[in-house]
Amino acid sequence: MTPARTLYDKHIDSHTVCRLDDQGHVLLYIDRQVINEYTSPQAFSGLREAKRGVWRAETALAVVDHVNPTAPVRIAAMPDSGGARQVSYLAENCRDFGIELLDILDKRQGIEHVIAPEQGFILPGMVIAAGDSHTTTYGALGAFGFGIGTSEIEHLLASQTLVYKRLKSMRVTVDGALAPGLTSKDVIMALIGQIGASGATGYAIEFCGSTIDALSVEARMTICNMAVEAGARGAFMAPDEKVFTYLKDKPRAPKGPSWERAVEKWRALHSDTGAQFDREVNLDASALEPMVTWGTSPDQASPIGARVPDPQDVSNLILRQDMRRALNYMGLEVGMPLSDIVISHAFIGSCTNARIEDLRDAASVVRGRRVAEHVRAMIVPGSTDVRNQAEAEGLAAIFIDAGFEWRQSGCSMCLAMNDDVLAPGDRCASSTNRNFEGRQGAGARTHLMSPAMVAAAAITGHLTDIRHFGDRA
Percent of the chain with pLDDT over 90: 95
**One domain, residues 299 and 182:** no
Burial of 444 (C-beta count, 10 Å sphere; 0-12/13-18/19+): buried
Mean pLDDT of the chain: 96
In a domain, 89, yes or no: yes
402, amino acid identity: A
Residue 72 has φ and ψ, to the nearest 5°, of: -55, -30
Checking if the pLDDT of 461 tops 50, the result is yes
- Domain for residue 265, yes or no? no
Residue 233 within a domain: yes
Is residue 313 located within the same domain as residue 206? no
Residues 46 and 145 in one domain: yes
Domain count along the chain: 3
| CATH for 235 | 3.40.1060.10
| CATH number, domain with residue 56 | 3.30.499.10
pLDDT in tens, 401-438: 999 999 999 999 999 888 899 999 999 999 999 999 99
**pLDDT tens, residue by residue, 45-55:** 999 999 999 99
Q: 178 and 157 in one domain?
A: no
% of the chain surpassing 70 pLDDT: 99
Question: In this structure, is residue 2 part of a structural domain?
Answer: no
Sorting pLDDT into bands at 50, 70 and 90, what band is 473?
Answer: very low
Render pLDDT for 223-263 as a digit per residue (tens, 0 to 9): 999 999 999 999 999 999 999 999 999 999 999 999 999 99
pTM attached to this predicted model:
0.97
Residue 110, strand partner residues? 383
Indicate whether 101 and 151 sit together in one domain: yes
Same domain as 392, residue 447 = yes
pLDDT per position as a tens digit, 90-116 = 999 999 999 999 999 999 999 999 999
Does residue 325 share a domain with residue 199? Answer: no
pLDDT of residue 471 exceeding 80, the answer is: no
Render pLDDT for 188-224 as a digit per residue (tens, 0 to 9): 999 999 999 999 999 999 999 999 999 999 999 999 9
202 and 120 within one domain = no
Domain range holding 98? 7-166+248-260
Of 386, 385, 376, 444, the residue nearest 415 (C-alpha): 444
Same domain for 50 and 100, yes or no, is yes
| Per-residue pLDDT tens over the stretch 269-282 | 999 999 999 999 99
Are 314 and 454 in a shared domain? yes
For residues 459 and 343, state if they share a domain. Answer: yes
Q: How far apart are CA 406 and CA 411, in angstroms?
A: 14
Q: Are residues 312 and 455 in the same domain?
A: yes
**Residue 313: inside a domain, yes or no?**
yes
User: How far is Cα 66 from Cα 433, in angstroms, rounded to an integer?
Assistant: 15
| 1 in any annotated domain | no
Q: pLDDT value at position 63? A: 97
